[in-house]
């Protein structure tokens, strides 16, 4: 399995806003049975590490049972909540995979039922594996010692300590992720899932189907469309619906160049029952209308 992405990460701890209730976004808490954290969305990434006890993490449509010496990274923009099944200690750390400017007014989190401010989300760069990143803490003494050191540096709020903390965070993540079999399995699973989605979409190129039909077809793979869309986008850089539109437009360009089919017939052949919508979408992708595309193409063909 290619682990080159680990050579390219340059993680940065997230700074706590000046008026935040904690000194930093790195902490350690003891929880009793029945403790519940409200459903929320975060705007960076949160590394959760369980030192002892048992916790339930509801992440979108997935229930993750976290036991002692397990970790999980919650991505931004995902509704999630945590509860404690057996008393224990839970560590957390907010970070970004690389330096990004934290815009003024950016929230730390948004609690349900308020709407997330999506413009402030700081998503992972495309080189980071898609899907959930989780695994077992293989070196607990070293990992929790690094966490304690990192928490002290961040709580100091001194500028040189904040910069130096980046090196500690990098070592911490490498200790957790490098050659961790569960992480590598998750990466492989995401790649396979994205490929299965692409194969499904390729079969739909000439079949009339709106966005709802696309969502339903993909959800037959056993996951929510929100999760599938995130996996697909991180793997290919575009949403599933965007990919399908792109494939259909490319097929339409071939038909316009190689056949005399009317525009409405071309639209129907690539899965669009509404030729007006097809023409608008075609122009959005190519900059010109289907008719203009055909005439332009014809004007550059050599005379026989």
> Per-residue confidence of the chain (304 residues) as pLDDT tens digits?
456 788 889 999 999 888 888 889 999 999 999 999 999 999 999 999 999 999 999 998 889 999 999 999 999 999 999 999 999 999 999 999 999 988 888 999 999 999 999 999 999 998 898 778 999 998 898 999 999 999 999 999 898 999 999 999 999 999 999 865 555 566 667 777 888 888 888 888 777 777 788 888 898 888 888 888 888 888 888 899 999 999 999 999 999 998 989 999 999 988 888 999 999 999 999 999 999 998 886 555 444 3
**Using omega within 30 degrees of 0 as the cis cutoff, is the peptide bond preceding 76 cis?**
no
Of the options 3.40.50.300, 1.20.120.1200, 1.10.10.60, 2.40.50.100, the CATH number for the domain spanning 207-304:
1.10.10.60
What's residue 273's pLDDT? 87
pTM of the entire predicted model = 0.61
What's residue 304's pLDDT? 38
CA atoms of 147 and 227, how far apart (whole Å): 30
Shared fold status for 4-179 and 207-304:
no
Q: Please, what sign has the CA dihedral across residues 20, 22, 28, 31?
A: negative
Classified as helix, coil or strand, 85 is strand
What's residue 187's pLDDT? 62
What's residue 262's pLDDT? 93
What's residue 77's pLDDT? 94
Q: What is the CATH number of domain 4-179?
A: 2.60.120.10
Residues in the chain: 304
What's residue 102's pLDDT? 87
CA atoms of 86 and 104, how far apart (whole Å): 39
Measured CA angle at 75 (ends 69, 76), to 5 deg: 145
Q: How many CA atoms lie within 13 A of 278 on its CB side?
A: 26
Helix (H) / strand (E) containing 71: strand 70-74
Compute CA distances 245 → 42, 192, 251, whole Å.
Answer: 31, 22, 10
The domain ranges of the chain are 4-179, 207-304
What's residue 183's pLDDT? 57
For residues 93 and 171, the answer to whether their CB atoms sit within 8 Å is: no
What's residue 188's pLDDT? 64
State the DSSP code for 115: P
Cβ contacts of residue 144 below 8 Å, gap of 6+?
49, 51, 91
CA atoms of 87 and 33, how far apart (whole Å): 5
Structure tokens at 261: 């089919």
Burial 178-187 (b: 16+ CB within 10 A, else e): eebeebbebb
Going by C-alpha positions, the residue among 54, 52, 57 that lies closest to residue 28 is 52
């Amino acid at each position: 399995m290619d682990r080159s992405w680990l050579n390219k990460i340059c993680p940065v701890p997230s700074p706590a806003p000046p008026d935040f209730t904690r000194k930093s976004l790195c902490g350690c808490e003891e929880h009793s049975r029945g403790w519940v954290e409200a459903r929320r969305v975060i705007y960076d990434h949160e590394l959760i590490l369980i030192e002892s006890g048992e916790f339930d993490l509801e992440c979108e449509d997935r229930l993750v049972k976290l036991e002692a010496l397990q970790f999980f990274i919650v991505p931004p923009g995902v509704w999630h909540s945590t509860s404690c099944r057996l008393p224990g200690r839970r560590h957390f750390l907010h970070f970004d995979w690389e330096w990004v400017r934290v815009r003024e007014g950016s929230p730390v989190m948004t609690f349900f039922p308020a709407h997330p401010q999506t413009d402030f989300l700081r998503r992972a760069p495309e080189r980071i594996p898609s899907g959930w990143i989780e695994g077992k803490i293989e070196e607990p003494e070293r990992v929790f010692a690094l966490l304690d050191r990192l928490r002290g540096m961040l709580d100091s709020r001194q500028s040189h300590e904040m910069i130096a903390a980046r090196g500690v965070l990098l070592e911490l993540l490498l200790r957790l992720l490098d050659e961790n079999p569960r992480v590598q399995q998750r990466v492989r699973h995401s790649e396979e899932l994205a490929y299965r989605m692409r194969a499904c979409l390729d079969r739909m190129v000439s079949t009339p189907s709106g966005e709802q039909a696309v969502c339903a077809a993909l959800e037959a793979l056993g996951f929510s469309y929100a999760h599938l869309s995130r996996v697909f986008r991180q793997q290919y850089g575009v949403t599933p619906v965007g990919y399908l539109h792109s494939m259909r437009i490319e097929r339409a360009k071939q038909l316009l160049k190689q056949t005399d089919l009317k525009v409405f017939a071309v639209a129907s052949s690539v899965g669009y029952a509404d030729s007006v919508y097809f023409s608008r979408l075609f122009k959005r992708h190519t900059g010109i209308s289907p008719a203009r595309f055909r005439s332009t193409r014809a004007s550059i063909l050599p005379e026989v």
